[in-house]
Amino acid sequence: MSPEDSRALPLRGITVVALEQAVAAPFATRQLADLGARVIKIERPGSGDFARGYDRRVKGLSAYFVWCNRGKESAALDLKDAADHALLERILARADVFVQNLAPGAAERLGLGAATLRARHPRLITCDVSGYGTEGPYRDKKAYDLLVQCETGLVSITGSPGAPARPGISVADIAGGMYAYTGILTALYERERTGRGTQLSVSLFDALAEWMGHPYYAEAYGGEPLAPSGARHPSISPYGHYGCGDGARVFLSVQNEREWAALCTRVLRRPELVDDPRFTDNPARHAHDEALTAVIEECFAAHTADGVLALLDAAGIAAARLRSVAESTAHPQLAARDRWRSFGSPAGPLRGLLPPVTVAGREAAMGAVPALGAHTAAIRAEFAAPRAG
């Protein structure tokens, strides 16, 4: 990124202090770092953020940590030590945002509760990320991603019948992190008009419960509980994977009656299916999904997967091939749009994707992943207590 790009980043000049660990809060603050904010990550001396030890897959570094902590400064401070606690207080006095996702009650015991900090620093934006929120019977319960997925009902509708499954990524952490990120951006915008900070709180449970909106409405008002549907859609048909003549599978989705007619006439070559009573609209098609799958796979059996995809593309039907993670990494769309960039780390250069939002004329900071405590000495010097006299 050129110096001109760096000066143009929208959060340049904003300082974020992050007392964070694991995924949700670090994921939120990494988005802020990519937008040009200075993110000072406070870590425990010796061990640091426990996500550093999740694995050693990235040249000896944790894949989770690399993903969520690009572009930050790491200061290893013992907050039970009076001098280090005072140093943090001096940093906070010059900060714009404070984010924490410690265990329930830990920030308050350290004198870093939102109400306390906001009383001392009216312009400070505080964001507490928790598992279940600050009230209610689950308030003090520890919460990790899979456990929140279970409590919100996500796992019950994921997987196959009789075999509930965890989605392949940490969706509760990601949901909570993204709501924290957007909440902080909103609070920064509000502060421009009011001059005052805001006290934010985000729970992983609330975030994922919001994402469960469709299952909630479908079950609460549909009269029947949703069941896990594997790689098929729980309420739209045809929408899922279908076998082809070469043994491969193609995924397709029909979203409306125009697309259904195109599938029948131009791909399946069965125009009479358009008005078949079993398939007259989406609820009917979903009710007869097994029969519809048999019809589709009978037609696809005469073609290879590539041939089916060509027919679907020509008919304007949304379709995809199932790719592995490695195949997705080499996706031609990413290469054509130049989405990969290099960034630094204690293990040397690494490669990562640009953030999803593209702003014309600017590029994300994508700074280095910090070693534990790499910036401690510089931060101690910058925020040293003023000398008496």
Which residues does the annotation mark as catalytic? 233
Identify residue 255 by its one-letter amino acid code: Q
HEC string for 253-303: ECCCHHHHHHHHHHHCCCHHHHHCHHHCCHHHHHHCHHHHHHHHHHHHCCC
* The residue type at 330: A
State the Cα–Cα distance between residues 211 and 227, nearest whole angstrom. 17
| Nearest-angstrom CA–CA distance, 145 and 204 | 8
Asked if 166 and 138 count as a contact pair (C-beta separation under 8 A), the reply is no
My answer on whether omega of the bond before 225 falls inside 30° of 0, hence cis, is no
- Which residues does 73 contact at the CB level (< 8 Å), separation at least 6? 38, 39, 40, 41, 370, 374, 375, 378, 379
Q: How many CB atoms neighbour CB 36 within 10 A? A: 22
